Amino acid sequence: MVNKPDSATEPSQDVLAPARPDMKNKTKVLILSTRGVTTRFRHLMEDLLKILPHAKKESKLDSKDRLHVATEIAELRNCDLVMLFESRKRQDLYLWLAKSPFGPSIKFHIANLHTMDELSFSGNNLMHSRPLLTFDPGFDETPIMRLVKEILSQTFSAPAGHRRTKPFVDHIISFSLVDGRIWFRHYQIVDAALDEKVIDKSVESTLVEIGPRFVMAPIKCFSGGFNGATLWENGAYVSPNEVRRAVRKREGDKTLGKMHQRTKRSKHVEANKIVHDPIHKVFR
């Protein structure tokens, strides 16, 4: 006689739905960072984990000189893509997007970063719902931007039928290309007919920003995973170190200018001393 399994020990189908048998896209993203990330950078990683249901989190890398180890970790975790956050000087954040294990990989500089907690927007979406991706028409103009678009699409698009995704589409991830930089925005799709706050019911749907928001500046593209030949390099990119150096130089030039004016004034006073008349106090 075979004992019937206890129904209380079986996992709930509402908590973890099985993957569809016809599911072909099994992309998984590994999210990790290097040592030295600040609280804001860590909060950004947590926000992206909420947006990407097909993402896995890994502990920090101990060495910044051996970033290619992330591809080996991705293979062990059965992940196809790697999203690595590299922190430098506890103020500069770089994002690596790499296809595991043979590449290519693209390095970005993250600027104008604002997390969900900092923005406090009213937008909200269902946890682990599938997002819509929108891209600027400028992504189709050059080969490197088409490659960036493809990697971003594979990274941020949740596979249909994934066991953690919900069968709803209620938010949009927007990638806008302005001045050679990629602007990331995240919006909620609000149905005006169901929202009591919307006065104009003729509008079918509106967008409410959720967050996070940041700007990505592409720096380099490599043929391999975090290494290999350089396929493309952004000649217009200026590193944050150069920007800070220019600011210090400009402030130093102001100080030197003030010192020069002070020296010039003292020399002028010495060369043009006022000679008083010896009898100017006689008739007082």
Q: CA-CA distance, 178 to 78, in Å (whole number)?
A: 35
- Phi and psi at 185, nearest 5°, equal -135, 150
pLDDT at 147 over 60: yes
Element containing residue 97 per DSSP (H, E): strand 92-99
Average pLDDT over residues 43-51: 94
Cβ partners under 8 Å of residue 92, min gap 6: 109, 240
Q: What is the pLDDT of residue 12?
A: 41
**Distance, CA of 4 to chain centre:** 51
Q: What is the pLDDT of residue 277?
A: 73
Question: Which tokens go with 177?
Answer: 């290309």
Higher pLDDT residue, 219 or 126?
219
pLDDT over 70 percentage in the chain:
86
Q: Are 162 and 40 in contact (CB under 8 A)?
A: no
- CA Rg, the chain, in Å? 29
Average pLDDT over residues 42-64: 90
> In which residue are the tokens 């043979």 written?
102
What are the domain boundaries of the chain? Answer: 23-236, 239-267
Question: Which tokens go with 204?
Answer: 């079918």
> In which residue are the tokens 């075979």 written?
2
Higher pLDDT residue, 132 or 262?
132
pLDDT at 274 over 90: no
Cβ partners under 8 Å of residue 137, min gap 6: none
Exposed / middle / buried, residue 45 (Cβ in 10 Å: 0-12, 13-18, 19+)? middle
Q: Are 129 and 234 in contact (CB under 8 A)?
A: no
What number does CATH give the domain 23-236? 3.40.50.10480
pLDDT at 2 over 50: no
Torsion over CA of 110, 116, 122 and 126, rounded to 10 degrees? Answer: 100
- Taking only the tens place, the pLDDT of each residue in 67-81 is 888 999 999 999 999
Least confident span in 14-23, 95-104, 219-228: 14-23
